Chains A and B, each alone.
Chain A
Amino acid sequence: MAEYLTLFISAVIVNNFVLTRFLGLCIFFGVSKNLSASLGMGMAVTAVITLSSTLAWLVYNLVLVPLHLTFLTTVVFVVLIASFVQLLEMVTKKFTPALYNMWGIYLLLIATNCVVLGVPLINVESNFSLAKSVVHTIGAGVGFAVAITLMASLREKLILADVPKPLEGLGVAFILAGMLALSFLGFSGMIAI
């Protein structure tokens, strides 16, 4: 049990996927202008990567490894995840329209995204068991949600600041993310794996 807890906390804080592994930066900078959109995005990403990386783990270990097709991992994963997200979109649209209206637009954005493909790849590369890979993935999703929510609340404050003209928008957002990454650096060494 302690092992799983360590893995989870490490994925959320110590090895935060956005701030120390740089996955999902496009969404991180694109959506974090607005706090409520960031919360929605964080939850949508968590849900999607948990489901899709479980699926990817099963396909990798039950199909690709026995057939010695691991060199096809990249192609298979990207097609698998993109079609899975499409399917998820259709299913939520049909059966839970309320949920779709809330999160539908995020689903399209994350169909081909670094974090959604990166997490399953890290899972199979680290040879995690199924349970471990689920815990690790949920941790990655929660870590993404934490980072993007923090960033959005900081950027909302930044609107009032007087920023030098060339740095406006993206430039200052990067510097802000650097400060955030610096504070997350304080957690390193807290857990050793």
Chain B
Amino acid sequence: MKELWDIYKKGLILENPIFVLALSLCPALAVTSSAINALTMGLTVLFVITANNTVVSLIRNLVNPKVRVPVYIVSIATIVTVAQLVLQAYFPLLYKALGIYLALVVVFAIILARAEVFASKNNVVRSFFDGFGMGSGFAIAMVIIGACREIIGSGTFFGLKIMPASYNAPLLLILPAGGFILIGYLIGGWRMLAQYIEKSKA
């Protein structure tokens, strides 16, 4: 159990896909102007990465190493298509808001990287927890970015007004430029947090 928890938790802070590994940055900027979009994208990626890690781990002994990358890509693309169709059927508004970035989940470097680095060498249970941990880290980072941008930039949180009526929201945070700058500072803050955790362990 301890071992599985260790696999799970490393994706959360110390190897956070967005803030530390800096993989899959496109969605971190593109769909985080509101918290709900960020959460949807985060959960989609959590689903895709967990499912893909499981599939890759199941077939890891059947695939010739020479063709492994194309096989992984097809597996990812199939799972993403499933996620796309489900979102389109049950949450058409969110599907529209995420737009093209939903299809782009296929090429998120983090998903292929976990398949190649972890799932192709480990058993199903470990791969599942690795994918789940990395996906959770991704979703948490997305929601943090989305919440910051929504609260500061439009004074709402998940659509609820939380700032006083006199609050004059700086539009910058909703604009692309503000997203870049905010993530820059969040990366810095995350690094301080990771250093603090490592120091308190030692």
- Determine the chain B residues whose CB is within 8 A of the CB of A74 once the complex forms: 77, 80-81, 84, 103, 106
- Determine the chain B residues whose CB is within 8 A of the CB of A73 once the complex forms: 103
Closest to A23 in B: B26
- Determine the chain B residues whose CB is within 8 A of the CB of A173 once the complex forms: 184
- Determine the chain A residues whose CB is within 8 A of the CB of B183 once the complex forms: 174
A121→B25 contact, CB < 8 A: no
| Given the contacts A174-B183, A175-B184, A22 and B77 also touching, CB distance less than 8 Å | no
A154-193 contacts to B, CB under 8 A, are 164, 166-167, 170-179, 181-182, 185
B177→A118 contact, CB < 8 A: no
Closest to B195 in A: A166
State in angstroms the CA–CA spacing of A117 and B184 once bound together.
26
Interface hit among B58-66, B160-168, B185-193: B185-193
B103→A185 contact, CB < 8 A: no
Question: B142 an interface residue at 8 Å Cβ cutoff?
Answer: no
Residue in B29, B73, B103, B188 whose beta carbon sits within 8 Å of that of A166 in the complex: B188
State in angstroms the CA–CA spacing of A179 and B192 once bound together.
23
Closest to A172 in B: B184
A178→B104 contact, CB < 8 A: no
B70→A83 contact, CB < 8 A: yes
| Given the contacts A19-B176, A21-B30, A72 and B81 also touching, CB distance less than 8 Å | yes
- Give the bracket for the number of chain B residues in contact with chain A: 35 or more
Question: A112 an interface residue at 8 Å Cβ cutoff?
Answer: yes
Q: What's the least CB distance linking A15 to chain B, in Å?
A: 10
| Given the contacts A26-B109, A79-B74, A174-B183, A182 and B177 also touching, CB distance less than 8 Å | yes
Question: B175 an interface residue at 8 Å Cβ cutoff?
Answer: yes
- Determine the chain B residues whose CB is within 8 A of the CB of A19 once the complex forms: 176-177
- As a 0/1 sequence over residues 100 to 142 of chain A, the CB contacts with chain B under 8 angstroms (1 = contact) are 0000000000001110111001100100000000000000000
- Determine the chain B residues whose CB is within 8 A of the CB of A20 once the complex forms: 176
- Determine the chain A residues whose CB is within 8 A of the CB of B73 once the complex forms: 78-79, 82, 112
- Determine the chain B residues whose CB is within 8 A of the CB of A185 once the complex forms: 175-177
Q: What's the least CB distance linking A80 to chain B, in Å?
A: 11
State in angstroms the CA–CA spacing of A118 and B120 once bound together.
27
Residue in A118, A121, A174 whose beta carbon sits within 8 Å of that of B187 in the complex: A174
A166→B192 contact, CB < 8 A: yes
> DSSP class of A's interface residues: helix, strand, loop or mixed?
helix
| Given the contacts A74-B84, A117-B103, A178-B178, A79 and B26 also touching, CB distance less than 8 Å | no
- Determine the chain A residues whose CB is within 8 A of the CB of B27 once the complex forms: 22
B70→A179 contact, CB < 8 A: no
A78→B107 contact, CB < 8 A: yes
State in angstroms the CA–CA spacing of A143 and B117 once bound together.
33
| Given the contacts A171-B185, A175-B184, A181-B180, A78 and B106 also touching, CB distance less than 8 Å | yes
Q: What's the least CB distance linking A176 to chain B, in Å?
A: 8
Residues on A facing B (Cβ under 8 Å)? 19-26, 29, 71-75, 78-79, 82-83, 112-114, 116-118, 121-122, 125, 164, 166-167, 170-179, 181-182, 185
Beyond contacts A178-B178, A185-B176: 9 other A-B pairs, Cβ-Cβ < 8 A, are A25-B25, A83-B70, A112-B106, A114-B26, A117-B104, A121-B103, A166-B191, A181-B175, A181-B176
In the assembled complex, 28 residue pairs joining A and B whose CB atoms fall closer than 8 Å, in A order, are: A19-B177, A22-B25, A23-B104, A24-B26, A26-B22, A26-B23, A29-B25, A74-B103, A78-B73, A78-B106, A82-B70, A82-B73, A83-B70, A112-B112, A118-B100, A164-B188, A166-B188, A166-B189, A167-B188, A170-B184, A171-B185, A174-B183, A175-B184, A178-B180, A179-B177, A181-B176, A181-B177, A185-B175
